[in-house]
Amino acid sequence: MNFFLAVSFTTIVMLMGLGVTPALAERVWDEELNRFLTPEELGQEDVYLSPDEAAKLMFPKSETVREAILSLTPKQKDIIQNRIGWNFPETSFECFIGETDGQTDGWAIIQNTIGKHKPMTYMVGVTPDGKISNVEVLVYRESRGSEVRKKRFNYQYEGKDVRDPIRINRGIINISGATMSVRSMSAGAKRVLVLVEELYLKPQGSETNIHTASHSEKGFLESLLGL
C-alpha cells in the first residue's frame, strides 16, 4: 500500500494497538515476505521511551520542559497539507517545549505515521532556528525495520530544515528492508518542521491555537499510543 494512501488508515491501525482488531486488519499481506503476517507479528509492539523520557533527551540542558497540545484550525491544516504534499487525519499534536531563563530552547512534537502496516510513534525535536535537533522512536509496531531508531540512521535528520527535501536518496540514505519505515519517518520529520514554522516561527498574528495539556488529555494520548 502506498504510504500516502495508508496514512488515511491511521485511526484503524491505532485501534489495533489498543487491542481492537477491525475485520479488514485481521489478515495483512506482506509483499516482501510473500505471505500473510502472523498474529504474533501483527501484535508486536516494542516500547522504547515514554513521551517524558524522550523529551528529556530532546532538552537535556533546559531548565524546564512543558507540554502543550497544538490544535490546528482548518485553514492551518490545509496550509500544512499543501506544503508537505499529503493529507493527514490529525487535527492536534502533543508538543514539548524546552525553556531556559525565559527563552525557548526548542520544540519536540510526537508523530504517528504509518510504517509498512502500522503506525510508528516517534518524537522530532526542532531548534529555535527551525532545524531538526534530534529524533527518538518511542514505540515501534512492525516486525521489521526497527533500525530507524538507531542513531547511526536517524542522525541523518539532524540539521535539516523546511528547505531540505528529506526523502530517500535526497539527503536520507535508505535502510534495506525498512523502506516504508524510512519514508514514514521522513514524512513525519518534514511535517514537524512545517508545523513548527507555521505555529511558532511565523510573525505574530497567526491563528495558532495552543493550550497546555491537562492531566486527562495526557492520559488519553498515552493510552492512544499504547504507553
For the chain, list the strands marked E by DSSP: 29-30, 35-36, 46-47, 64-71, 92-100, 103-114, 119-126, 132-140, 167-168, 171-172, 209-211
pLDDT tens for 169-192 read 999 999 988 999 999 999 999 999
Residue 155: the pLDDT is 96
Residue 143: the pLDDT is 80
With residue 192 as reference, give the H or E element that holds it. helix 179-196
Residue 221: the pLDDT is 41
| Rounded CA separation 30/34 (Å) | 6
Residues 6+ apart with CB under 8 A from 20: none
pLDDT tens for 201-222 read 986 544 455 444 444 444 444 4
Which pLDDT band, with edges at 50, 70 and 90, does 195 fall under?
Answer: very high
Contact 224, 111 (CB under 8 A): no
Residue 34: the pLDDT is 74
Average pLDDT over residues 13-20: 44
Residue 213: the pLDDT is 46
| Rounded CA separation 89/78 (Å) | 11
Higher pLDDT: 39 or 134? It is 134
Residue 2: the pLDDT is 46
Higher pLDDT: 16 or 99? It is 99
The whole model's pTM is what? 0.77
Task: Choose among 10, 193, 24: nearest CA to 114.
Answer: 10
Residue 41: the pLDDT is 62
Q: Cell 475485520 maps to which residue?
A: 23
pLDDT tens for 65-116 read 999 999 999 999 999 999 999 999 999 999 999 999 999 999 999 999 988 8
N- to C-terminal Cα distance for the chain? 27
Residue 23: the pLDDT is 38
With residue 179 as reference, give the H or E element that holds it. helix 179-196
pLDDT tens for 145-161 read 899 999 999 999 999 99
pLDDT over 90 for what percent of the chain?
Answer: 62
DSSP string over 70-89:
EE--HHHHHHHHHHHTS--S
Task: Choose among 165, 6, 189: nearest CA to 87.
Answer: 6
Spatial strand order of the sheet with 46-47 comes to 46-47, 132-140, 119-126, 103-114, 92-100, 64-71, 209-211
Asked if pLDDT for residue 31 goes beyond 90, the answer is no
Q: At what angle do helices 179-196 and 74-84 cross, to 10 degrees?
A: 130
Task: Choose among 59, 122, 118: nearest CA to 94.
Answer: 122
DSSP bridge partners of 119: 114
Residue 45: the pLDDT is 87
Contact 178, 147 (CB under 8 A): yes
Which pLDDT band, with edges at 50, 70 and 90, does 44 fall under?
Answer: confident
